[in-house]
Structure 1
Amino acid sequence: MLLGCIGDDFTGSSDLGNTLAKAGMRVVQYSGVPEDPAAPDVEAGIVALKSRSVPVEEAVDLSLKALDWLRAQGCRQFLFKYCSTFDSTPEGNIGPVADALADALGADRVIFCPAFPATGRMIYQGHLFVGDRLLSESGMENHPLTPMTDPDLRRWLAPQVSRGVGHVPASVVWQGSEAVRARLDSEAAEGRPFVIADAIRDEDLLVLGRAIADLPLLTGGSGIALGLPQNFRDQGLLATNHPVWQGQPGKAVILSGSCSRATRGQVACHIAEGSPALELDPEAVLSGAMTPQDAADWALTQTGLPLIYSSADPDAVRAVQSRHGTEAAASGLEAFFAETARLLVAGGVTRLITAGGETSGAVVEGLSVETLEIGPEIDPGVPAIRARPNLVLALKSGNFGSEDFFAKAARRLEGTTA
């Protein structure tokens, strides 16, 4: 294994896998820290954790265990992958995990770059934009677990870490990788070894990738990995032949727990097309009046592409949280989706599409899937995934995907693109 990756959620990890696989690496995603060694032909291994919103100490412990396993596989470089909207609180978990990984690896220069221009995430002057809006005006300010109210990543990261936070501005990135390396050196010399890097184009990410070829640790969204495979290819370390993706026939179902604007638009599009949809009432789910068996039974009797969703608007989410508590509401819905997924697969579903990082993580855990083979791209940041010989998945981050994503994903998982 050449590149060892630690993802703080499941959809973000598959997003990273998509980037690396498109660039020619043999990629496998693991659900949690594996107990057994990786297969010998794996070039990039991604340990997908559910550590984005857990207590800081737990996130650090999980990440260090993942690092230990990846080091044992012989990895030459390590990437800590988090969301392209830098989802975190002023306490963590991005900063504390990065601190711990840097300590373990002796890393004295670490880039932080969640930019992903293909999905509208760009960093300029240290500020994160989503499309033409600052992060704090993108809808992420209403996130139920990690509301992002400040677009200045330097200001957001600084309280989370024990090291100084610096900056590589776009004007330096545009001068090339040597200029970036020089800037990293100067920032480290000034006591700012953790560096926010600007990137507004894919070309910027490729420059950053070349600049950090020799660094043991980097952090960011999946975009920062764009240039990494070429670094290994230049050293003659990548294989040229990889298995060809095969689609999976059979019944498909969608489970959506994301409250993002993008997902709510996808839900509305799906319903407008006349596809079957079951909206979950959080109160009924949390009280037990609506059970996973009820939801699974409904989906298994539908024709077409059934959708089970709880993608409410932010005000509705806050109302449920105020009555039940944020953690109880979130864990209750996640457990519901996990059990529903298990029942659906037991009932013969072979294609499962999920929307939302927490929902996707719960579903993967509920299915007890340990190894995920990364397949072709469905939409930017979202690949097709094989979980078992007769089960394929699409794990979509809430903010990703075109308006018709659900139907597109079902076709791609089946092996068609029409």
Structure 2
Amino acid sequence: MLIGVIADDFTGASDIANTLAKGIAPEGGLATAQFPGTPSQPAPAHLEAGVISLKSRTAPTQTAVADSLAALNWLLDQGCQQIIFKYCSTFDSTPEGNIGPVGEALALALNARAVVVCPAFPTVGRTLYQGHLFVFDKLLSESGMEHHPLTPMTDPDIRRVLGRQTQQGVGHVAQTVVSAGVQSVASALAAQAEGGTMFAVVDATSDQDLLTIGEAIADAPLITGGSGIALGLPRNFIRKGLAKGAETDLIAQPGPQAILAGSCSGATRGQVELHAKTQPSYAIDVPKVMAGDVTAQSLVGFIQSHQGEAPLVYSSGAPEMVRAIQKEFGREQVASRLDALFAETARLLVGLGYRKIVVAGGETSGAVAQAVAEAKGSPAMQIGPEIDPGVPVLSLGSAEPVLLALKSGNFGAPDFFAKALTIMGAGK
């Protein structure tokens, strides 16, 4: 493999795997696979890029660092020449981390300096200007992310946020430098590296900015950012003759389908509301889950009773409702029980012959992907066609593959659920 990615959640991993597999015209992308956790076996020989999906975004910092270093070692053993630490395009993290501590550990392990920090993903409205992160026309701190139940983002200045998470220096490469071209960016980063600065927050307001940055860091051992930072990286290796490039296969699968939503983001709540207007839906009663009265068998029973009707089960509540439940039962306890509930539901569905599962929410996706990988006995997920920007179809297993769509809470059009199932079933 040439490029190795360490992603701090599962939906983000799918996002950047999709970016690497697509690439840009005329070169195209790389032969890419996504792995739920660090594999114990070598990667398939044909792969040019591998994405390891961790659950390190909200894990204890020591665990996040240890898991990320283990992933790094495996990727290096596969021959990777460039490592990407992938986090959310809204820089989701607590005040203490884990972006800073993990990035610092990886940089020290690779002896990297002036490591690019760029969460920007203009295609989905995330831009970085003067070090400040925007979600469409709103600062990050006014975008709704300030109410996130696990990683509330109340400061849009990525330099400040990262500075609180690491003892290492945090520099900045402004938009004016990026717009001046590849050599301008390369010179700015080289100067910061000579000065000993470990991280460089780099502005980007367009895809062209990302392509400029990507060419400037063609030989960088470590890069950090959202999936957009990978936009121009495949062509660097293709132009060098090190990669052949590959197109995503068009895949489709017959059989029953289900939708599992565990995100409380505004986008997901809108998608749930739209889908529930015309299709059967089941709102999970979280207190009853905590009491043991709602189980995976309850959810599977509902889904089976509506086979062929695109049934949806969800725990997507308004922020104030989520806070009240977390206050009553404890944030970690609620998250753990819901993850386990969705994972067991997915495991049972696969055992019953379900081959198309759409999932909303990073933590929920992680739990479901691991459960399906265990059920299929195959960790490598093939990257299929794109549903919406940043969200591809994933195929897991060679015999009777299970198709997954792992959607970050804030991603996808209002009709994402229906669109995903159409693509999974019709291959369009």
* TM-score > 0.5 by shorter chain: yes
Equivalent in 380, 399, 406 of residue 417 of structure 2: 406
* Helix, strand or coil at the partner of 1:266: helix
Please give the alpha-carbon distance, in whole angstroms, between the structure 1 residues aligned to 2:346 and 2:322.
22
Does structure 1 residue 135 correspond to structure 2 residue 144?
no
Please give the alpha-carbon distance, in whole angstroms, between the structure 2 residues aligned to 1:240 and 1:193.
32
Please give the alpha-carbon distance, in whole angstroms, between the structure 1 residues aligned to 2:237 and 2:385.
21
Aligned pair in 2 of structure 1 residues 266, 195: CA closer, same or farther (>3 Å)?
same
Does structure 1 residue 287 correspond to structure 2 residue 291?
yes
* Helix, strand or coil at the partner of 2:387: strand
Q: Percent identity?
A: 55
Which amino acid in structure 2 is aligned with residue 153 of structure 1? I
Does structure 1 residue 192 correspond to structure 2 residue 193?
no
Matched-pair contact (CA < 8 Å) for 2:55–2:366? yes
The residue correspondences of 1:4-403 to structure 2 (distance < 5 A) are 4-23=4-23, 24-240=29-245, 244-272=249-277, 274-302=278-306, 303-367=308-372, 368=374, 370-389=379-398, 390=400, 391-403=402-414
- How far apart are 1:189 and its partner, in Å? 3.7
Deviation per residue, 1:162-221 (Å, 9 max, x gap)? 211011111100001110111112223444330111111000000000011111000000
- How far apart are 1:240 and its partner, in Å? 4.6
Deviation per residue, 1:33-62 (Å, 9 max, x gap)? 111111111000111111110000000000
Please give the alpha-carbon distance, in whole angstroms, between the structure 2 residues aligned to 1:283 and 1:142.
21
Matched-pair contact (CA < 8 Å) for 2:89–2:121? yes
Which residue number in structure 1 is paired with residue 26 of structure 2? none
Which amino acid in structure 2 is aligned with residue 142 of structure 1? H
Please give the alpha-carbon distance, in whole angstroms, between the structure 1 residues aligned to 2:79 and 2:354.
37
Please give the alpha-carbon distance, in whole angstroms, between the structure 2 residues aligned to 1:241 and 1:154.
36
Please give the alpha-carbon distance, in whole angstroms, between the structure 2 residues aligned to 1:240 and 1:258.
34
* Helix, strand or coil at the partner of 2:224: strand
Please give the alpha-carbon distance, in whole angstroms, between the structure 2 residues aligned to 1:410 and 1:111.
37
Runs of 5+ consecutive residues of structure 1 not aligned to the other structure: none
Matched-pair contact (CA < 8 Å) for 1:109–1:215? no
Deviation per residue, 1:346-387 (Å, 9 max, x gap)? 122110000000000011122225211111110000000001
TM-score for the superposition, normalised by structure 2: 0.95
Which amino acid in structure 2 is aligned with residue 178 of structure 1? Q
Please give the alpha-carbon distance, in whole angstroms, between the structure 1 residues aligned to 2:318 and 2:106.
36
Please give the alpha-carbon distance, in whole angstroms, between the structure 2 residues aligned to 1:242 and 1:122.
27
Matched-pair contact (CA < 8 Å) for 2:20–2:230? yes
Please give the alpha-carbon distance, in whole angstroms, between the structure 1 residues aligned to 2:153 and 2:245.
41
Runs of 5+ consecutive residues of structure 2 not aligned to the other structure: 24-28
- How far apart are 1:241 and its partner, in Å? 5.3
Which amino acid in structure 1 is aligned with residue 381 of structure 2? L
Please give the alpha-carbon distance, in whole angstroms, between the structure 2 residues aligned to 1:381 and 1:19.
7
Matched-pair contact (CA < 8 Å) for 2:361–2:408? yes
Please give the alpha-carbon distance, in whole angstroms, between the structure 1 residues aligned to 2:194 and 2:333.
46
- How far apart are 1:251 and its partner, in Å? 1.0
Deviation per residue, 1:88-147 (Å, 9 max, x gap)? 112110000010000110102200001000110000110000111110111111111110
TM-score for the superposition, normalised by structure 1: 0.98
